Chains A and B, each alone.
Chain A
Amino acid sequence: MLGIVFFYLSSQAAWLEGSTQAISQREASVILGALTDSLRRASSVSVFNSPDTLHQGISIRDASGTEFFRVWWNSSDSLVHEKVRGGSDLGAIGRSKVETFRFGRADSLVELRLLQLRSPSGERVKLTTTVNLYNR
């Protein structure tokens, strides 16, 4: 009986941990997808600290210099927020805490140096990539 109870509890813990980690992975992909889709259409970008070099944001602009997408790390909830066309904050992308959101730049290449999320169960999800600004 004790074994069955132990198995039940540990299986519930494994289920919960696995589910939250999978959700965090999915949310990291959603952030990456939103970012790469916008960056490919962009003509120029500017990276800014929000508020430090480990937690940044990026303003993405079209050929006329108008900002059409912005994502940034919000210190009040440790989540990545977004807004479009200079509007108001549309809220956070995902619910997993973002520990690192760092960019690098070289000419028309934008490098997402590290996007690190932490799932509620403590597992960390890391993603990096580089995107060209194709202006199209």
Chain B
Amino acid sequence: MVTRSRPNPGQGASSKTTDQAASSRIPQRGADGFSLIEVLVSILITVISVVGLASLFGNGRALINHYEVARAANGVAQQRFELLGRTGTSGDLSIGSHPSTPNPFVYGGATIGTESWTVAWYDDPIDRTGVADSNPNDLKLVAVSVKWGQGAQADSVRLTRLFPASP
């Protein structure tokens, strides 16, 4: 903004210089600009927004990685059901936890977790349940668990399927 000072009659050049210096320090009416507080508040808002967005992107990326392994774990669990259904022995489908030492869960060439299953009796409600059912051991409920650790977080996939009481 251009400011002009008009020299008063009878005053020298030094008075003109003082007026110019004063006018450059004092904000003029209608002059554009931001105060220090406004600048600090805007910086604070920008920082909060950027940190929030960075956190959002990081979380999104972590979820994508998580579901990549979860899909593979889901495939391994499905595979176990198919193998138990076709080649599972009576020992594999006996009540309890199997195997004694959990199988390794391998993804991308590295062992990142374990895979195991449990077998429990399931009381089919079609022939009543509880005390009304003289034989509650109708089916076997097989639950396959695939557990893995990704970074500091442990995670797992658990699928269940019903099998005949006697294979």
* B118 at the binding interface (Cβ < 8 Å): no
Please tell me if the beta carbons of A7 and B86 are within 8 angstroms of each other in the complex: no
Q: Which residue of B lies closest to A134 (CB)?
A: B85
Q: Which residue of B lies closest to A3 (CB)?
A: B50
Pick from A43-51, A83-91, A120-128 the stretch touching chain B: A120-128
Give the size range of B's interface with the partner: 20 to 34
Pick from A17-25, A52-60, A64-72 the stretch touching chain B: A17-25
Please tell me if the beta carbons of B64 and A132 are within 8 angstroms of each other in the complex: no
- Bound complex: CA A49 to CA B11 (Å): 103
Please tell me if the beta carbons of A128 and B72 are within 8 angstroms of each other in the complex: yes
The majority secondary structure among interface residues of chain B is helix
* A129 at the binding interface (Cβ < 8 Å): yes
Chain B residues within an 8 Å CB radius of A127: 71-72, 75
* B68 at the binding interface (Cβ < 8 Å): yes
* A130 at the binding interface (Cβ < 8 Å): yes
Please tell me if the beta carbons of B107 and A126 are within 8 angstroms of each other in the complex: yes
- Bound complex: CA A17 to CA B78 (Å): 29
Please tell me if the beta carbons of B86 and A108 are within 8 angstroms of each other in the complex: yes
Chain A residues within an 8 Å CB radius of B108: 124, 126
Chain B residues within an 8 Å CB radius of A125: 68, 71
New A-B contacts (7) at CB < 8 Å, excluding given A111-B79, A126-B108, A132-B86:
A11-B53, A14-B60, A18-B60, A18-B61, A25-B67, A108-B86, A132-B85
* B54 at the binding interface (Cβ < 8 Å): yes
| Contact (A15, B68) CB under 8 Å given A109-B86, A128-B79, A130-B83 | no
Chain B residues within an 8 Å CB radius of A14: 57, 60-61
- Bound complex: CA A124 to CA B109 (Å): 12
| Contact (A7, B87) CB under 8 Å given A18-B64, A126-B107, A126-B108 | no
| Contact (A7, B50) CB under 8 Å given A108-B86, A126-B108 | yes
Please tell me if the beta carbons of A132 and B57 are within 8 angstroms of each other in the complex: no
